[in-house]
Structure 1
């Protein structure tokens, strides 16, 4: 979780000005989608968290 928040700030939130709370929530939801399904992680062998989850689920 800490790594996610550490990535969220500089990659998404620092460069945007928000009008209201709803726009912040929407942007964070978009980033969560990106982080889990598109962003590759070197610690996971350059897989997305979702790909790693599927791999581990199938191995069990």
Structure 2
């Protein structure tokens, strides 16, 4: 058995994914849902959305800062 806190980060991600993407869209079929979710995660969440865990920077900004250091 695992500790419930081991899953906290993925539960937080799923909550954000549902609030910011899933509940705002109507999916036609599985392929449409897959495409919309991919666009949200790769195009917005991982590139443009600020994250508190990296000092309210976007992942792209944080990566560029690390590469410049």
TM-score band by shorter chain is 0.7 to 0.9
Task: Give the root-mean-square deviation of aligned CA atoms.
Answer: 1.8
What is the TM-score of this pair, normalised by structure 1?
A: 0.75
Query: Greater Rg, structure 1 or structure 2?
Result: 2
Gaps of 5+ in 2: 1-8
Q: How many residues are paired up?
A: 59
Gaps of 5+ in 1: none
- Which residue in 1 is equivalent to 2:47? 37
TM-superposed CA distance for 1:30, in Å, is 1.2
Which of 23, 28, 35 is equivalent to 1:14? 23
